Amino acid sequence: MEIVHRLYAASRRRDKEACVRESDPDVEVVSYLMGIEGTVYRGHAGLRRYIDDLFRAFPDWHPEILRTTDCGDKVLAEVRMAGQGSSSGIAIEQTVWQVTTFHDGKMVGFHGYGSRAEALEAVGLRE
């Protein structure tokens, strides 16, 4: 759970290299916020591109981790996200859930979900 907090802190600072250091070379990112088009970001280059894309779309993006749950090799995080779209000017504020998977102390992937039920199912739990 500590790594998830470090990853969010690094991403808020736009510190791509800190995120890369916490990640496996074959990391896979499926963002709820940026995944509308089904984009999957792969590898360290993909992780860097994800952070660039995120801040290009929402220059003032700021997440707040509300709660984390240890699920073995996965961490379920409830995250409150806010920001303003760079091209639309529309402010967003929503709660999303993220399942981050780890192997040997490195993030191997994260997947965002729009509902707690979906995220719980992804980690094999129920409400």
Task: Say what the pTM is.
Answer: 0.90
How many Å from the N-terminal Cα to the C-terminal Cα in the chain?
A: 20
pLDDT band at 37 (very low <50, low <70, confident <90, very high): low
CATH of domain 2-122: 3.10.450.50
Question: What is the overall mean pLDDT for the chain?
Answer: 92
* Residues 77-98 pLDDT 10s: 999 999 999 989 999 899 999 9
- For the record, the structure tokens of 86 come out as 């760079």
